[in-house]
Amino acid sequence: MLRVDRIELGIVLDHIQAGKGLFIFQKLGLASRGDPTALLMNVPSSKMGRKDMIKVSGALDLDLAMLGLLDPGITVNYIEGGEVIRKLSPGLPQRVVGLIRCKNPRCITTTEGYSPPVFTLVDREKKEYRCYFCGEHVRV
Ligand SMILES: [Zn+2]
Q: What is the pLDDT of residue 6?
A: 83
Cα of 104 to ligand 1 centre, how many Å?
6
Q: What is the pLDDT of residue 61?
A: 86
Cα of 80 to ligand 1 centre, how many Å?
42
Q: Enumerate the CATH 3.30.70.140 domain ranges in the chain, comma separated.
A: 9-88
Q: What is the largest CA-CA distance in the chain?
A: 52
Q: What is the pLDDT of residue 33?
A: 84
Q: What is the pLDDT of residue 55?
A: 95
Q: What is the pLDDT of residue 2?
A: 66
Q: Enumerate the CATH 2.30.30.20 domain ranges in the chain, comma separated.
A: 95-139
What is the pLDDT tens value at each position of the chain, 140 positions in all?
567 778 899 999 999 999 999 999 999 999 898 889 999 999 999 999 999 999 999 988 888 999 999 999 999 999 999 999 999 999 999 999 988 999 999 999 988 777 889 999 999 999 999 999 999 999 98
**How far, CA to CA in Å, does 129 sit from each of 16, 55, 126?**
22, 30, 9
Cβ partners under 8 Å of residue 102, min gap 6: 109, 110, 117, 119, 131, 133, 134, 136, 138
Cα of 135 to ligand 1 centre, how many Å?
6
What single-letter amino acid sits at 139? Answer: R
Q: What is the pLDDT of residue 59?
A: 85
Cα of 138 to ligand 1 centre, how many Å?
9
> What ranges in 4-105 are assigned the alpha helix state H?
21-27, 64-70
pTM: 0.85
Q: What is the pLDDT of residue 71?
A: 95
Determine whether 118 is exposed, middle or buried from the number of CB atoms within 10 Å of its CB (0-12, 13-18, 19+).
middle
**How far, CA to CA in Å, does 82 sit from each of 23, 37, 89, 128?**
27, 15, 20, 38
Neighbours of 81 (CB within 10 A): 7
**For residues 14 and 76, what is the distance between their CA atoms, to the nearest angstrom?**
6
What single-letter amino acid sits at 122? Answer: V
Q: Which CATH architecture has domain 9-88?
A: 2-Layer Sandwich (3.30)
Cα of 139 to ligand 1 centre, how many Å?
13
Q: What is the pLDDT of residue 60?
A: 85
Q: What is the pLDDT of residue 34?
A: 85
Name the class of domain 95-139: mainly beta
Cα of 45 to ligand 1 centre, how many Å?
39
